[in-house]
A and B are shown apart, each in its own frame.
Chain A
Amino acid sequence: MISPAQDGPAIELVGLSKRFGRTMAVNNLSLTIPRGSTFGLLGPNGAGKSTTIRMLMGMLSFTAGQARVLGIDVVADAVQVKQRVGYVPEAHYIYRWMRIREAIGFCKSCFYTWNDQMCREMLELFGLDAEQKVKHLSKGMLTKLALLLAVSHEPEVLLLDEPLSGLDPVAREEFIDGVLRAICDRGQTVLISSHMLDDVRRLADTVGILYEGQLLLHGNLDALLTSTKRICATLRDGFQPKQTPPGTVWQRIQGREWTITVRDFAPEKVQQVQATEGVEQVRVVDLGLEELFKDFVRGQRVSP
């Protein structure tokens, strides 16, 4: 049993699993996200990101495990969780026949708290016309409306499932700087799943990489970027290295170029590569979030 606590983590998953037929969408996922942090959930398509978020919202049953949001069991009290969480799904299914004003009124009636001023400001920021019908909105405008509805009740936790995918670069910038930044700075917890790694990099302080329903990596973003490095070695003609340093995440040999991505980087690992037979030159390259993500996923794809 996970113990309920008022000042405990914002999100706590223990052995969470979800099976769809023969496919294990989420497999024994355990994760703790502290209050006030911004967590970037990364993963390729079908990794289980949306499934995890839907389970956190109490909109999908579990096969096994437990999930708590703000100390509340999502199975026992999904309504209370939804009351305190803002959710932006990947696809938006707001009633098409509603006007924006009606959608706002409907949502406002559902929540205990609602910040009218913030709602008005966001309407203005996003250039949304309250009298416009939802069915006449473009994908980007619909995304803006979904974001507005998710944040106007001032949730303590914000779950964003690919929230920025439909937005043009200007709107994305405005949303990140104008809204998300403010939310993150106010101490609200944000879980953001996105393919746009640059955006995640700008917002998240912690990231997790999900692959085939399992958490490959989880930790402070800066620490991960510091501790994960790429070692590039030049090989002599015809040489094939037989050993990789410990903590190798992914490696590739292309012609004479041997590229190794290692976690828990230490100078000894460079020395080990240098000492490998057939290695001529070695250099260390820092990784960005995108390379780190790609290398971890590639590493999983090639490993048996």
Chain B
Amino acid sequence: MKWLLWKDYRQNRLVVFAGLFFLLAPYAIGLWDGRAMIYERARAPEGRLIEIFAIASVWSLAISQVTFALIGGNAIAGERVDRSAEFLYAMPITRRKLLASKIVVALAIAAVPWLIDAPVFWYLANVGALARGRLEVGEIFAVIATTGLIFFSVAWVFSSFIASPTLAVCGGLVTPLIPIVPEQLGLPVPFPATRLWYCTICLTLALVCFGVGTWHYLRRVEP
């Protein structure tokens, strides 16, 4: 299992680099934006610096969810497109073990922004002038988390059926827009465009997609 985990990490190394970029870029922009205030604290409006980093942390968390789509899309289709799946499936490893390894690595990569950004945002959002209600912070986290889940699950189901990681990732990234687009275009929508509705739809769809993708992956004989 150790070698399998290592293989899956190594197979996703580029995704990890992309994830690090998504994680750090908003902080870098925040640092650049607040550099004068860091040097001359007296000139900074009260709480401005905190706000900059709170925004950076929430942006970092939000765009880091793209990494989830990259992992999901690359998980199965990535090995199919370069045909390394042919080599892997000639090995005496059960599909369940292969699946477990892919999921463990995906969770480990996805956990990093949550372990860094979420505590930073939680702390900054609850101090000084920025203080926000716990409910609002919780809702922001819920929207980001369900968006990440649907990114992953839709990319995963595509990845399970097709041999193109690019299409799988695009599928994952586009799907969360589906509940938003009709409302943005002023079309009649069958549900109120609230965060709760968005989260419910995304979560349901994510569970269905993950289930179907996993079922197909476990059943399929061919690499």
Contacts and interface: CB of A to CB of B under 8 A. Distances in A.
Interface string A72-108: 0001001111110001010111111110000001110
B10 interface: yes
B92 A110 contact: yes
A89 B86 contact: yes
A111 interface: yes
Nearest to B222: A60
Contact of B3 (A61, A92, A109): A109
A79 B94 CA distance: 6
Given A61-B221, A109-B2, A95 B7 contact: yes
Contacts of B221: 58-61, 75, 78
A256 to B, nearest CB: 53
Contacts of A79: 92-94
A57 interface: yes
A80 B2 CA distance: 20
Contact of B90 (A80, A82, A95, A98): A82
Contacts of B3: 105-106, 109-110
Contacts of B135: none
Nearest to A88: B90
A98 to B, nearest CB: 8
Given A59-B223, A106-B7, A82 B91 contact: yes
A1 B199 CA distance: 52
B126 interface: no
B204 interface: no
A96 B82 contact: yes
A123 to B, nearest CB: 18
Nearest to A58: B221
Contacts of B10: 95, 97-98
A192 to B, nearest CB: 17
A110 B93 contact: yes
Interface string A99-142: 00000011101110000000000000000000000000000000
Nearest to B86: A93
A93 B82 contact: yes
Contacts of B87: 92-95
Contacts of A98: 10
A95 B89 contact: no
A62 to B, nearest CB: 9
Contacts of A111: 92
Interface in B1-21: 2-4, 7, 10-11
B200 interface: no
B92 A59 contact: no
A59 B83 CA distance: 13
Contacts of A80: 92
Nearest to A159: B90
B84 A87 contact: no
A110 B91 CA distance: 7
25 contacts: A59-B86, A59-B222, A60-B222, A61-B221, A61-B222, A75-B221, A78-B221, A79-B94, A80-B92, A82-B91, A83-B92, A91-B83, A93-B82, A93-B83, A93-B84, A93-B86, A95-B7, A95-B10, A95-B84, A95-B87, A97-B10, A105-B3, A106-B3, A107-B91, A109-B4
The 10 closest A-B pairs by CB, nearest first: A82-B92, A83-B92, A109-B3, A61-B221, A93-B83, A110-B91, A93-B86, A93-B87, A79-B92, A106-B3
